[in-house]
């Protein structure tokens, strides 16, 4: 018996402790657990290992390699209302560095888990979660601790999906940010001009498409002819490769009245350029400033002594967007984007590192490369890391 994990498993979600239970014996564990009615059966009866790899923040730093270490840890057990997910893909976000630097919640001290989004297979679940999910289901989720081979999440955060497709990760943070920010803060009107910075990136690609869907003229900045070509395929009217064109001169010449809305994620000199090129009653949406994340100042505000005067002269505004502040919009936004993706109306470009020197991003060890790759500006679309490929046909 010491070679088996004994769990009491409800034969049906409606069963209670007073009703007959089924016993499942799982290899690879040396624990006897008689906890109440908890499913913990791996898909098709294969064993769940006792240990796994995960990334842990062990030191607060904007240097991701210094802050985060790869560790071996026990596979967690889902409690009531929770799911254990075997991750297939995890998404890389610019804000991963802010999180590893402790900038979002200064009260949190190392060690702590990292990674915001994943998609994979349910391999275990708590009693109340079994009313909505079953072992073998495929789910996407937005929850902390995704940079791990297995992650426990609340069943309330799980999004059922038909298959573990990396494109779905592009919607969870990057797509939702563009969709909600432009709808709630952009106030887009048909015929307006929208400037999207880092337009070929994870969230920029969606801002381009949603602005175009709203009937706007879309300008997108990028750093290569390849990216400019991609932007044309998703509806960008005027891609500007700032490596070969003078961005300031081009905007002044081609858009002398300024742009109505800027979707800005770069910061620094690009932010200044955006402010200077706002039209009368223009709106500048700040959804990030990646150029400063790897610096010691991080989320500290920039000095903007002249900004009030510039905004006053144009009756313009700067509006910040942070996705957790708009969580009430999230479910509807995700539903809408999934429908558009299924109907072929939305492109979700993902970059799995095929053009990187080290090759495709496969395994947790490659998260370090993936973060560096994104910050170098080489990616087209959402950067995604594939964990060990699974044999299940559903995956």
Give me the CATH number covering residue 263: 3.40.50.720
Mean pLDDT of 301-310: 78
- Range in 70-79, 149-158, 301-310 the model is least confident about: 301-310
| Residue range(s) defining the domain that contains residue 256 | 170-324
Together in a domain, 142 and 193: no
Query: Does residue 23 carry a pLDDT above 80?
Result: no
Query: Does residue 38 carry a pLDDT above 90?
Result: no
Mean pLDDT of 215-231: 98
Cβ neighbors of 261 (< 8 A, separation 6 or more) are: 182, 186, 187, 188, 192, 193, 194, 195, 211, 216, 282, 283, 284, 285
Mean pLDDT of 77-97: 96
Q: What is the reported pLDDT for 298?
A: 72
Together in a domain, 257 and 153: no
Together in a domain, 367 and 315: no
Task: Give the CATH number, domain containing residue 18.
Answer: 3.90.180.10
Mean pLDDT of 289-309: 79
Domain assignment present for residue 363? The answer is: yes
Cα–Cα distance measured from residue 164 to residue 66, given in angstroms and rounded to the nearest whole number = 31
Together in a domain, 139 and 190: no
CA gyration radius for the chain? 23
Together in a domain, 10 and 158: yes
Together in a domain, 81 and 160: yes
Domain assignment present for residue 342? The answer is: no
What is the sign of the dihedral through the CA atoms of 230, 287, 171 and 361?
positive
Together in a domain, 54 and 137: yes
Query: Does residue 371 carry a pLDDT above 90?
Result: yes
CB 262 within 8 A of CB 289: no
Together in a domain, 154 and 200: no
The residue that leads in pLDDT, 378 or 46, is 378
Domain assignment present for residue 302? The answer is: yes
Together in a domain, 281 and 366: no
Give first-to-last CA distance, the chain, whole Å.
32
Query: Does residue 291 carry a pLDDT above 60?
Result: yes
DSSP secondary structure code for residue 381 in this structure: B
Together in a domain, 193 and 131: no
- Range in 72-86, 235-249, 300-314, 325-339 the model is least confident about: 300-314
Report residue 33's pLDDT band, with 50, 70 and 90 as the boundaries. very low
Mean pLDDT of 178-195: 98
Report residue 20's pLDDT band, with 50, 70 and 90 as the boundaries. very low
Q: What is the reported pLDDT for 143?
A: 95
Q: What is the reported pLDDT for 352?
A: 97
**Of 166, 167, 186, 189, nearest in space to 177 by CA:** 186
* Residue 256: Cβ-neighbour burial (10 angstroms; 0-12, 13-18, 19+): exposed
Structure tokens belonging to residue 321: 């967007």
DSSP secondary structure code for residue 392 in this structure: -
Q: What is the reported pLDDT for 390?
A: 54
Q: Any alpha helices (H) in 41-175, and if so which ranges?
A: 64-67, 95-100, 167-170
Structure tokens belonging to residue 158: 């799980």
Domain-ending residue, one of 308, 324, 340 = 324
Query: Does residue 391 carry a pLDDT above 90?
Result: no
Domain-ending residue, one of 306, 324, 342 = 324
H or E element: which one contains 368?
A: helix 367-375
Looking at the chain, the whole-number percentage of residues with pLDDT higher than 90 is 80
Domain assignment present for residue 123? The answer is: yes
Domain assignment present for residue 224? The answer is: yes
Sheet with 51-57: list strands edge to edge.
68-74, 51-57, 112-113
Q: How far is CA 358 from CA 93, 212, 258, in A?
A: 20, 35, 42
- Range in 204-213, 291-300, 374-383 the model is least confident about: 291-300
Domain assignment present for residue 358? The answer is: yes
Total domain count for the chain? 2
What is the average pLDDT value for the chain, to the nearest integer?
87
Report residue 107's pLDDT band, with 50, 70 and 90 as the boundaries. confident
DSSP E strands, the chain: 5-10, 21-26, 51-57, 68-74, 82-91, 112-113, 117-125, 138-142, 150-154, 158-160, 193-196, 217-222, 238-241, 259-264, 278-286, 317-320, 350-351, 382-386
Together in a domain, 141 and 184: no
Together in a domain, 20 and 154: yes
Looking at the chain, the whole-number percentage of residues with pLDDT higher than 70 is 85
Domain assignment present for residue 346? The answer is: no
Q: What is the reported pLDDT for 32?
A: 30
Report residue 48's pLDDT band, with 50, 70 and 90 as the boundaries. confident
CB 231 within 8 A of CB 238: no
Q: How far is CA 351 from CA 91, 92, 173, 346, 373, in A?
A: 10, 10, 15, 16, 10
């Amino acid at each position: 018996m010491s070679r088996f994990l004994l769990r009491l498993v409800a034969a049906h979600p409606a069963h209670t402790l007073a009703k007959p239970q089924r016993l499942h014996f799982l290899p690879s564990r040396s624990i006897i657990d008689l906890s109440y009615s908890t499913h913990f059966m791996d898909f098709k009866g294969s064993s769940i290992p006792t240990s796994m790899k995960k990334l842990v923040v062990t030191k607060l730093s904007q240097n991701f390699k210094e802050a985060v270490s790869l560790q071996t840890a026990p596979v967690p057990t889902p409690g009531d209302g929770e799911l254990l997910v075997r991750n297939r893909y995890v998404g890389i976000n610019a804000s991963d560095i802010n999180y590893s630097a402790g900038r979002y919640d200064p009260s949190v001290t190392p060690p702590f888990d990292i990674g915001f989004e994943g998609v994979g297979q349910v391999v275990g679940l708590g009693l109340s979660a079994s009313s909505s999910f079953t072992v073998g289901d495929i789910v996407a989720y937005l929850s902390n601790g995704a940079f791990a081979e297995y992650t426990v999440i609340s069943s309330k955060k799980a999004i059922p999906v038909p298959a573990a497709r990396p494109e779905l990760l592009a919607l969870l943070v990057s797509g939702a940010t563009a969709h909600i920010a432009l709808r709630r803060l952009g106030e887009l009107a048909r015929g307006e001009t929208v400037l999207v910075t880092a337009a070929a990136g994870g969230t920029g690609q969606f801002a381009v498409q949603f602005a175009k869907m709203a009937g706007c003229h879309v300008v997108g900045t990028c750093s290569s002819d390849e990216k400019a070509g991609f932007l044309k395929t998703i509806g960008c009217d005027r891609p500007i490769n700032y490596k070969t064109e003078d961005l300031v001169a081009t905007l002044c010449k081609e858009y002398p009245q300024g742009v109505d809305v800027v979707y800005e994620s770069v910061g620094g000199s690009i932010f200044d350029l955006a402010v200077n090129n706002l039209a009368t009653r223009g709106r500048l949406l700040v959804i990030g400033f990646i150029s400063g994340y790897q610096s010691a100042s991080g989320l500290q505000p920039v000095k903007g002594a002249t900004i009030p005067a510039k905004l006053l002269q144009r009756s313009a505004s700067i509006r910040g967007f942070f996705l957790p502040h708009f969580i009430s919009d999230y479910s509807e936004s995700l539903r809408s984007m999934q429908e558009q993706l299924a109907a072929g109306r939305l492109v979700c470009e993902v970059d799995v590192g095929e053009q990187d020197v080290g090759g495709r991003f496969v395994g947790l060890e490659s998260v370090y490369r993936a973060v560096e790759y994104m910050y170098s500006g080489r990616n087209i679309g959402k950067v995604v890391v594939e964990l060990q490929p699974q044999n299940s046909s559903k995956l």
